Structure 1
Amino acid sequence: MLTFSIYAPKVLTTQVGIGQIMMLTDGYGNKISVDSQAALDLYDQGVRLFLGAGFGAPDAFQSSVDLDPNFALGHVALARSLMMSGQMPQAKAAITRAQELGSNLDSRQRQHIECMVLLSSGQPKQARELVKNHVRDYPRDALIAQLCASVFGLIGFSGEVGREAELLAYTSALLPHYGDDWWMMSMHALSLCETGQIDASTRLMDKSLALNPRNANAAHFKSHAQYEGGETAAGRQYLAGWLSDYDDRAILHGHLSWHSALWALHDGDEAGMWAAIDAGVGPGAAKGLPINVLTDTAAILYRAEMAGLSVDPVRWSALSDYAQRFFPETGQSFADMHAALSHAMAGNGDRLAHISDTAKGFAGDLVKPLAQAWGAIARENWSDALEELGQVMGSTERLGGSRAQRDLLELTYANVLLKLGKTAEAQRCLTTRRPVLTANLSLAGFHS
């Protein structure tokens, strides 16, 4: 059985004419229509950077289509990388160009384009189903397989109960097709981590990192495994070293900075936490996607407050303005719940009410009670907050994000119980639902 690594030399390369289009073989062994090896080499370079969350993928893909303007899948890849850097008008133009070029391609490449068309046109359910069908026939079509991988993919943001198990099933089915491939190893390792298989996750993640130490996805997921294992000192040390030469313009820099801030909070290092926030997490510092800037900043600020630290109201006000700028309407439930928190803590009742009144999207039914809970918390109406949170806590996975990110809700629920004097219930709740949080807990009053 032949396996391909994206870092391996290209083998089985063929050049078969289809009209004016040449067929070569990409780094994952897929036949691809492109006019030159040079254009394909730049494409493969872009794929490596994209899958490893490195900086420069859009430039590599742009250079590829500059060499071959008729390279349809080059335009698709460019569109995807532009989407991940928040350049939506340019991404739509690139996917439109790919559609114009795709009519004479083979079935794999046409379907590859269609998956991205569905995604870019706001049809996530249809895209998810097509991706899952596509990878059954073409499992090594990595740029399409990626759309359903990770907690921020089409499965992760499906809003469905059981999506963690579905993600594990998805990567389990793909893994045998990839051999010793660092990217797929890291994707499956996260699936293992999010379903509680920490030791197996760590072993696979370390194998991925040995093959490609600069795979930011693997470094990120290793941080999740260390978080789930309660390894504060080791996690903080590892991530500090890894981030030291990671470009701050890369897609995961801001989120990894959030992990650093969280480690510092758990370690009792308030100065280190604020330094990480101000250098790479908050608005004006982070250079990543708005959804990460909003959700990471809101989460760390409120987790700091629950730990008993003082948060300058100016920070909440600035974040509320940021949320209003980038997410003025509801529809992305994971963003909406953090926007609601920001508006509540900033005292912007009209903005908070808008989210509560219009909540929609994959978990819009949970966003409404959450928004009302944040409002009650801001007013210190703990009884109302508990009632609203009770409608959410049984199905928080539907909101999206990792377990580490959803721990914001676990801690909030326990904190409300503490405010109501229900200390034993708060302790019992965290011990049964998220025992890892009790080992390195940053929640004022929990142990009293």
Structure 2
Amino acid sequence: MLRDNYGNETSVASQAALDQYDIGIRLFLGANFGATAAFQSSIDLDSGFALGHVALARALMMSGQMPQAKAAINRAQDLSLKLNTRQRQHIECFALLFSGQPHKARALVKRHVQDYPRDALVAQLCSNVFGLIGFSGEVGREAELLAYTSALLPHYGDDWWMMSMHALSLCETGQIAASSILMDKSLALNARNANAAHFKSHAQYEAGETAAGRSYLTSWLTDYDDRAVLHGHLSWHAALWALHESDEIAMWSAIDSGVGPGAAKGLPINVLTDTAAILYRAELAGVSVAPERWAELSDYARRFFPETGQSFADLHAALAHAMAGNGDHLAHISDTAKGFAGDLVRPVACAWRAIARQDWGTALTELVQVMGSTERLGGSRAQRDLLELTYANVLLKLGQTAEALRSLTTRRPVLAHAPPLAAFHS
């Protein structure tokens, strides 16, 4: 039986099909464009290659092609009966994910990697802040992610992908220096690993290295395909760096070319959350945002997330609806919020409504219900700074300047030395 590049025995008819699969895995783990085509080539060479169909399903999912992805995972399940335990379980992990059972998928992935730690395509399901651990909605999920990648790291040796995954875990638990060292080692092995470039930006953000972060990312993005899954989100980072350096022209350029609806080619969840976050953080910093931008984003949220259930998306959809004045859609979120952190989405949605009305007292009452457990909402610390800055701004509007500064100093000290809030300087 042939083995893939991670040493896993794989039921495939030819080395040529396996070679295409390995190319696809490298592209996928590096968040580079082209994985879908490589996986398709693999199954074109061997239509009975079950794991090739799984990989194709995952790549199609990450490009938003869900009907085709579900067809591919169904084909893999049809081919699974004669496979060994590792491959059958590999398929089952993805089948649970595609059938809308994230808790069962997460539990099976964690059991699976205990026996098959180098089954990288399965292992990545629980890695990253956007994985099954990151979107668990549980308190302590950052520590759980660190424990997960810590257990896997020794099995991977000098593997650029796992280094970058563990480096993010270190970053999100405050170990910035260690994260940066490991991230640079990962990038030295594969400079075009978009995950590592992404996480390096997070480490630089956490360290307050605005100028260096902006310079690095601007250069790195030059050769990154705008069809790749992280292009839009990395453009968000670029826009955020520009905002922090008061470069409005560059900020709007990044938004209009790579972040917002009609520009970004990534997943709808990234388009929605990144656009809402940068628009409101711009407003907090004193930048004028045209009402038409909020109206466009509200329409986008209504089109792609008409019902609640993905709490991180719902949080940002509520913001878009509030800023656009679409009260009915905002009320729908606050009334029906469900999903991994629906209990937190409801008060945040009410806070957005109050903020839009400049009812700062009500906004504070709603926000205090969630500020102790914002990690449950998902996303990175940098992304959740949307709430940290919103909370501080509400305190400022109520004349509680000392409390606003205390909140940032104790919760997000990286922002406290020069808070990107216009209200601090008014």
User: TM-score category by the smaller chain?
Assistant: over 0.9
Q: 1:444 aligns with which of 419, 422, 426?
A: 422
Q: 1:89 aligns with which of 64, 67, 75?
A: 67
| Matches for 1:234-313 after TM superposition, within 5 Å | 234-313=212-291
AA matched with 2:308 = T
CA contact (8 A) 1:266 1:441 kept: no
CA contact (8 A) 1:299 1:338 kept: yes
Q: 1:164 aligns with which of 136, 142, 158?
A: 142
What is the deviation of 1:447?
A: 4.8
What is the deviation of 1:446?
A: 1.8
What is the deviation of 1:141?
A: 0.1
1:142 corresponds to which residue? 120
1:441 and 1:83 mapped to 2: Cα distance? 38
Matched, 1:212 2:190: yes
1:335 corresponds to which residue? 313
Q: 1:61 aligns with which of 39, 42, 49?
A: 39
Matched, 1:377 2:355: yes
CA contact (8 A) 1:320 1:342 kept: yes
Q: 1:187 aligns with which of 162, 165, 177?
A: 165
TM-score, structure 2 length as denominator? 0.99
AA matched with 1:50 = F
2:382 corresponds to which residue? 404
Taking a change above 3 Å as real, the CA distance of residues 232 and 440 of structure 1, as seen in their structure-2 partners, is farther
AA matched with 1:136 = Q
| Matches for 1:314-353 after TM superposition, within 5 Å | 314-353=292-331
Matched, 1:122 2:115: no
1:434 corresponds to which residue? 412
1:8 corresponds to which residue? none
CA contact (8 A) 1:427 1:446 kept: no
Deviations 1:360-384 (A, max 9, x none): 0000000000000000000000000
1:424 and 1:442 mapped to 2: Cα distance? 16
What is the deviation of 1:79?
A: 0.3
Deviations 1:389-417 (A, max 9, x none): 01010000000000000000000000000
Deviations 1:224-263 (A, max 9, x none): 0000000000000000000001000000000000000000
CA contact (8 A) 1:27 1:44 kept: yes
The alignment partner of 2:2 has SS state of: strand
AA matched with 1:251 = V
Between the aligned residues of both structures, percent identity stands at 81
* C-alpha RMSD of the superposition: 0.6
1:111 corresponds to which residue? 89
AA matched with 2:226 = D
2:418 and 2:212 mapped to 1: Cα distance? 13
1:31 corresponds to which residue? 9
The alignment partner of 2:131 has SS state of: coil
CA contact (8 A) 1:426 1:446 kept: no
Q: 1:44 aligns with which of 14, 22, 28?
A: 22
1:216 and 1:335 mapped to 2: Cα distance? 23
AA matched with 2:152 = L
What is the deviation of 1:442?
A: 1.3
1:183 and 1:261 mapped to 2: Cα distance? 26
2:39 and 2:319 mapped to 1: Cα distance? 38
1:179 and 1:132 mapped to 2: Cα distance? 20
CA contact (8 A) 1:356 1:368 kept: yes
The alignment partner of 1:445 has SS state of: helix
Deviations 1:195-219 (A, max 9, x none): 0000000000000000000000000
What is the deviation of 1:438?
A: 1.9
AA matched with 1:111 = Q
2:78 and 2:418 mapped to 1: Cα distance? 54
CA contact (8 A) 1:266 1:440 kept: no
2:127 and 2:423 mapped to 1: Cα distance? 38
Matched, 1:199 2:177: yes
What is the deviation of 1:440?
A: 4.3
2:35 and 2:142 mapped to 1: Cα distance? 28
Deviations 1:237-294 (A, max 9, x none): 0000000010000000000000000000000101111011001000000000000000
2:208 corresponds to which residue? 230
Gaps of at least 5 residues in structure 1 are 1-22
Count the aligned residue pairs: 426
Displaced runs of 4 or more, over 4 A:
none
AA matched with 1:30 = N
1:370 and 1:257 mapped to 2: Cα distance? 26
The alignment partner of 1:258 has SS state of: helix
Q: 1:414 aligns with which of 388, 392, 402?
A: 392
What is the deviation of 1:441?
A: 2.6
2:363 and 2:423 mapped to 1: Cα distance? 18
AA matched with 1:361 = G
AA matched with 2:231 = H
The alignment partner of 2:217 has SS state of: helix
AA matched with 1:226 = Q
CA contact (8 A) 1:265 1:273 kept: yes
Gaps of at least 5 residues in structure 2 are none
Q: 1:74 aligns with which of 40, 43, 52?
A: 52
1:364 corresponds to which residue? 342
1:431 and 1:148 mapped to 2: Cα distance? 31
